[in-house]
């Protein structure tokens, strides 16, 4: 029985570490290098004014949480402009059917001619819209967003390595528990130290080299976000007070201070 547990532990450790290495290499090969001048790297978007970091509001949202986060941002932005009414029951209603940029017009199109639609349906329609894809394409071309072929490889592989470390520990405990009374299980348990060191060492290296494990932003993209090391602005600075659209873009709907807007997004599965 101890050999079976040892085989499970070794298999989980080797496979998870190999997958993480493969994901890291794939990300390095498929992600273009970020240009030196970020202001030129990310073309101007009519969606929102540029912030201190050189990113638009939509670009911040995409790098922080992908197209779903971007969809939440544009809905809240239009609600604050009184173009939409977001009810706490999870419905979006058009108040002013005029969009000021391509993403706002896409949101109005997603709501449809009836002028009212459930927020989850609006969000799903938005994430596949051409206007949102153009934001993603700009960021990928600039080397700030991970290509679709890479997502969500690194973060998923890191979770596998963490899980493999837990499997190794549980296998060692099961081996000790199943050992016959009075039997010397020390040599067998020592064999579990190698896969444990392998998984924990790989995890530590990934945290040092690859952290944060974003599903959307490259390392260069993470550095462009407010609050990151070397960034020229912070989410809690006067230019971006807590509860602002920038905070929503960076942290998600839970960061909203308006209870109605927060309930509108969360009640719809946000």
Rounded alpha-carbon distances, angstroms, from residue 11 to 24, 138, 166, 189, 202: 20, 40, 13, 16, 15
Average pLDDT estimate for 151-158: 70
Answer yes or no: do 138 and 171 share one domain: no
Answer yes or no: do 74 and 139 share one domain: yes
Reported confidence tier of residue 94, pLDDT bands at 50, 70, 90: very high
φ and ψ at 117, to 5 degrees? -160, 155
Reported confidence tier of residue 62, pLDDT bands at 50, 70, 90: very high
Q: In the chain, where does DSSP find H-type helix? A: 2-30, 38-41, 57-80, 102-111, 119-127, 130-141, 153-178, 186-191, 193-209, 219-224, 245-251, 259-266
Tell whether 254 is covered by a domain: yes
- Per-residue pLDDT at 29: 59
Reported confidence tier of residue 149, pLDDT bands at 50, 70, 90: low
Answer yes or no: do 248 and 139 share one domain: yes
- Per-residue pLDDT at 30: 55
Owner of token pair 């190794």: 168
Residue 187: pLDDT over 90: no
**Cα–Cα distance for residue pair 190/200, rounded to 1 Å:** 16
Answer yes or no: do 156 and 145 share one domain: no
DSSP annotation of 145: B
Tell whether 22 is covered by a domain: yes
Answer yes or no: do 114 and 162 share one domain: no
Answer yes or no: do 20 and 135 share one domain: no
**Cα–Cα distance for residue pair 132/167, rounded to 1 Å:** 40
Answer yes or no: do 55 and 175 share one domain: no
Answer yes or no: do 109 and 159 share one domain: no
Answer yes or no: do 118 and 20 share one domain: no
**Cα–Cα distance for residue pair 91/71, rounded to 1 Å:** 14
Lowest average pLDDT, out of 74-88, 91-105, 215-229, 250-264, goes to 215-229
Tell whether 189 is covered by a domain: yes
**Cα–Cα distance for residue pair 248/70, rounded to 1 Å:** 10
**Cα–Cα distance for residue pair 125/128, rounded to 1 Å:** 6
* Residues 73/248, Cβ–Cβ less than 8 Å: yes
Question: What's the token pair of residue 154?
Answer: 């690194």
- Per-residue pLDDT at 120: 92
Tell whether 234 is covered by a domain: no
Domain final position from 188, 209, 230: 209
Average pLDDT estimate for 9-34: 76
Answer yes or no: do 115 and 157 share one domain: no
* Residues 233/53, Cβ–Cβ less than 8 Å: yes
Tell whether 116 is covered by a domain: yes
Answer yes or no: do 115 and 59 share one domain: yes
Reported confidence tier of residue 262, pLDDT bands at 50, 70, 90: confident
Tell whether 177 is covered by a domain: yes
Q: Domain range holding 57?
A: 46-149+239-266
pTM of the model: 0.64
What does the pLDDT look like over 213-246, one tens digit per residue? 567 887 788 888 886 544 444 444 334 444 588 9
To the nearest 10 degrees (0 to 180), the angle between helices 2-30 and 153-178 is 170
Average pLDDT estimate for 139-152: 77
Q: How many domains does the chain have?
A: 2
How much is the mean pLDDT over the chain?
Answer: 78
Domain final position from 209, 226, 258: 209
Answer yes or no: do 145 and 158 share one domain: no
The SS3 of residue 6 is: helix
Q: Higher model confidence: residue 249 or residue 31?
A: 249
Tell whether 218 is covered by a domain: no
Domain final position from 209, 227, 252: 209
Tell whether 224 is covered by a domain: no
- Per-residue pLDDT at 257: 84
């Amino acid at each position: 029985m101890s050999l079976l547990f040892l085989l499970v532990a070794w298999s989980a450790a080797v496979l998870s570490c190999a997958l993480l290495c493969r994901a890291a290499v794939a990300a390095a090969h498929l992600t273009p290098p970020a240009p030196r001048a970020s202001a030129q790297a990310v073309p101007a978007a009519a969606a929102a004014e540029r912030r201190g970091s050189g990113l638009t509001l939509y670009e911040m949202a995409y790098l922080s949480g992908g197209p779903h986060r971007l969809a939440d941002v544009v809905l809240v932005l239009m609600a604050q402009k009184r173009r939409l009414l977001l009810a706490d029951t999870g419905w979006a209603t058009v108040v002013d059917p005029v969009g000021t940029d391509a993403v706002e017009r896409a949101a109005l199109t997603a709501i449809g001619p009836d002028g009212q639609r459930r927020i989850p349906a609006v969000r799903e329609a938005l994430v596949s819209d051409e206007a949102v894809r153009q934001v993603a394409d700009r960021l990928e071309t600039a080397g700030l967003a991970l290509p679709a072929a890479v997502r969500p490889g690194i973060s998923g592989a890191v979770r596998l390595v963490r899980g493999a470390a837990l499997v190794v520990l549980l296998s060692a405990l099961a081996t000790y528990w199943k050992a016959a009374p009075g039997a010397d299980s020390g040599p067998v348990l020592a064999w579990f130290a190698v896969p444990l060191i392998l998984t924990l060492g790989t995890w530590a290296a990934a945290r040092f080299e690859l952290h944060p494990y974003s599903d959307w932003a490259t390392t260069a993209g993470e550095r462009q976000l407010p609050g990151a090391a070397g960034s020229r602005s912070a989410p809690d600075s006067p230019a971006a007070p807590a509860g602002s659209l920038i905070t929503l873009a960076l942290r998600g709907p839970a960061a909203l201070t308006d209870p109605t807007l927060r309930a509108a997004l969360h009640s719809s599965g946000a």
